[in-house]
Amino acid sequence: MKIETVFAHPSDWLRGDGPHHQIVISSRVRFARNVRNHAFPGWAKKAERSQILELIKPQVDDLPEMQDAFSEYMQELNPVDKQVLVERHLISREQAAKNAGSAVVINRRQTLSIMINEEDHLRMQALRSGLQLKNVFKLLDKVDSALEQKLDFAFHPKLGYLTACPTNVGTGMRASAMVHLPALVLSEQINQIIQAVNKIGLAVRGLYGEGTEAMGNLFQVSNQTTLGEKEDEIITRLNQVIEKIIEHEQNARQLLLQKRIGTLLDQVGRAFGVLTHAHSMTSKEALNLLSFMKLGVDLGFFPDDHRPVIDELFMETQPAHLQKSSQQKLQVEERDALRAGIIREKLKQFPEPDIGQKPESGNGTTEKPDDE
Where does this chain bind other proteins (CB under 8 A)?
Answer: 34, 36-40, 42-43, 92-94, 119, 141, 144-145, 148-149, 152-162, 164-167, 169-171, 173, 195, 198-201, 203, 205-210, 220, 224-231
In whole angstroms, how close is the CB of 268 to other proteins at the nearest point? Answer: 26
Q: In whole angstroms, what is the distance from residue 86 CA to residue 82 CA?
A: 6
| Closest to other proteins by CB, 166 or 273 | 166
Q: In whole angstroms, what is the distance from residue 162 CA to residue 168 CA?
A: 8
Q: In whole angstroms, what is the distance from residue 259 CA to residue 269 CA?
A: 17
Residue 223: HSE in the Cβ half-sphere, 13 Å Cα cutoff: 30
In whole angstroms, how close is the CB of 36 to other proteins at the nearest point? Answer: 6
| Closest to other proteins by CB, 199 or 329 | 199
| Closest to other proteins by CB, 227 or 315 | 227
Helices in 72-113 by DSSP H: which ranges? 79-87, 93-96
In whole angstroms, how close is the CB of 301 to other proteins at the nearest point? Answer: 30
In whole angstroms, how close is the CB of 209 to other proteins at the nearest point? Answer: 6
Residues 6+ apart with CB under 8 A from 197: 203, 204, 221, 241, 245
Q: How many CB atoms lie within 10 A of CB 55?
A: 16
Sign of CA dihedral 89, 95, 98, 103: negative
In whole angstroms, how close is the CB of 32 to other proteins at the nearest point? Answer: 12
| Closest to other proteins by CB, 206 or 296 | 206
In whole angstroms, how close is the CB of 216 to other proteins at the nearest point? Answer: 12
| Closest to other proteins by CB, 76 or 233 | 233
Output phi, psi for 179, to 5 deg.
Answer: -120, 145
Q: How many CB atoms lie within 10 A of CB 94?
A: 14
Q: In whole angstroms, what is the distance from residue 290 CA to residue 282 CA?
A: 12
| Closest to other proteins by CB, 209 or 269 | 209
